Structure 1
Amino acid sequence: MGIFRSLKHYNYRLFFTGQAISLVGTWMQRVAVSWLVYQITESAFLLGLITFLSLIPSLVLAPYAGSYVDRHNKYKILMITQIILMLQAGALAVMIWFKVYDIFWIAALSLVQGLVNSFDVTARQSLMVNLVEDKEDLPNAIALNSSVFNAARLVGPALAGVILSTLGEDMCFLINFLSFIAVIVCLVMMKLKLQEHPKSRENIWIDLRKGYDYLKSSPDLASMIIMMAASSLLVIPFTTLLPVFAKDIFNGTATTFGWFESAAGFGAFFGAIYMATLKVNQNLQKIVMVSGILLAVSVVALAISPSLILALICTGLAALGLMAQTSSINTYLQTHADDLMRGRTLSYYIMAYQGVLPIGSLLMGYLAHQFGTQTVVAFEGLAGLLIVGAFIYNEKHRNEIKNNAVSLT
């Protein structure tokens, strides 16, 4: 079984299958929205704004969503969110079918997607541990889930590039709408035995504060989340500017943009495959450091790339580093957080990743508009190196304190 060992679990196999189909449609929609917005506005700032609206709810709602998910049935929450996301994709398809190219409604539907995703992602991540009976297979399940996400990122944009240039944006949205059927059918077929934790009678905001206090008392978990937040603010937003590289810097079309997204998917897919092959007790902190350096150096190289081919290679390497970094942090949090605090811990991770990212996208979109895309992307790469350096220093300092405490006892 090796790399696919977690697929022996029935519920996880269904989850994996549904995600594999649906995520292709999701990536097609992401590419179609980005290309549509840039075609309509030709504004890097508005491109960043749409990303901001689709992700900003995670910053505000993720901690609340974590407490909510810990108190309620994760499976039911996931079923409801998937249905709403299906309707959101359908609304986009209908709007573009009738040639309503209105940036306000595109922004409004992106905001709806962001609101629903705040609960969807938290519920999905928290449910993962219940889909795999043998907990030793959990890191493999997380890595495989990441690999299917990035395989879809490879296939989806490539298909989107072809469909955008032949059939139009509305077909991308329609395919995404239909792809949600696979997820819903697979969820219905699951045989889950969720352990019911007694619901807290305290105010949910007090419950949320407990999650913060838990992280405060767990510096290893907190440092991972802080690094994720810093990368989301200053490094990862380079992905938002890929349409600018495709259209303006390399004078391409929707197909060229599809190549950039597919290159990112290709690199991330290999990163996920690497993560899936790791043994149980692998040093995840080391992987976080090395992958962070790869991400930062590749982003700098992308900014100064003189040719399209080199830019695509750098995009792939950056995505590989990003995939390994985020997957390592995710796996570490899921395998080290207490069961009763897992939802809240993951909600802070989601807030740091998907919640801070829109602020970074908006900020980098604005700076790219003011100073030029290549200059800003080079800055993002240099910032990434500083972030990794700070993380390494913090880990070394924390280990020294821990070793001194052990020697004193």
Structure 2
Amino acid sequence: MRNKRLPPTAADRRHFLLRPVVGSLLALALPGVPLLARAGGHAASAEASAYPPVVEGALLQFPQDFGAHPQFRTEWWYVTGWLREAGGGTGRHWQGAGEGGAEVRAGGYGFQLTFFRVRTRIGEDNPSRFAPRQLILAHAAIADPSIGRLRHAERSARAYPGLVEAGEGRTSVRVDDWFLEGGDTVLAPYRTNIETDEFGFELVFEPGRAPVLNGKQGFSQKAPDPLNASYYYSRPQMMVGGRMRIGGKVREVEGHAWLDHEWSSEILPEGARGWDWVGINLYGGGGLMAFQMRDGEGRALWQAGTLSEEDGASRIHGPDELRFTPLRHWQSPRTGIRYPVEWEIELAGRRLRLRPLIDDQELDSRASTGAIYWEGAVRLFELGAADEARAIGEGYLEMTGYAERLAM
């Protein structure tokens, strides 16, 4: 990791040459349609027929499915987590810290890294390496309590061998010098390096266990119609070590992370405006993934979740077992968008509560995916019979579609 900004490299210059074409490519490829999630209706169904469908019963195979699936419309590798200065009681000990460790774990930073791959269906018969058949986009952020907001950056470019690409067979995705790679075997580590003017991080993630398959063995339904689905697995409880830079100060850090990988040709159901999603590393060593699709009035169209244990066992929760209820809102001073930043989640009779590390974790990605969304570090509490709150985990909450229908 560099402590200071170096002069632009050849890769940097190529990135800036490629980046201006992305906006026009998106307009040509998917006019009036979300980039990373499809609109519903007849037009969406006709468009989706040009891509492979997601079908129930297809078995995910690892490590092959750690890599890219370029035939599908959209795909993302999404890593989130909490970091603290090394030696502060995180690492492997974090899993067994138990109920009394909430104060020990106070503080820290949240971080996010997402790489997106989009098949445009433009120039697929063109043999040129410059043909915009695939787009690769990336978001990176640090939730910094010292300033009360996110530090974030983004990149986007058409795929170009060796510079901007998403490889098959293992996780290997990059936009210039930003990258995420690993997954050579089921338990092999991942590593990433992100450098921006304001911040950077160079991290290694150790999985420690096999992937958790969401939905029906990796077939994750997003609506009553199974057309709206993705292939989806998670990797909770990854241990993290490395370095993080904020400004000119570099810190040795450790912590825990969560990796999601999804690919699909049709996600958003008709009438959906956006979604709310959580991925939580539980203090006992397990993990909780839960989401809801919302309509324009904020009503739930579909809910689903996966509760995994430290030993790898998992339970799938369907729409009748989950309910999201917003408790407190925060309004962005920059965009005026109002987000519910505290939630109660009812999960099969349990009452859970989400509270943010900081309220202002809005990410404006209009220069790449075109979306403004809330993506932030949260703590999870369980409510007892007398409404006492017991801290049980940390993770991330993502909320989309609060400004307008998701149009990425």
What band does the TM-score fall into relative to the shorter chain? under 0.3
Normalised by the size of structure 1, how large is the TM-score?
Answer: 0.26
Structure with greater proportional helix content: 1
* Higher relative contact order structure (alpha carbons within 8 Å, sequence separation ≥ 6): 1
Q: TM-score, normalised by structure 2?
A: 0.26
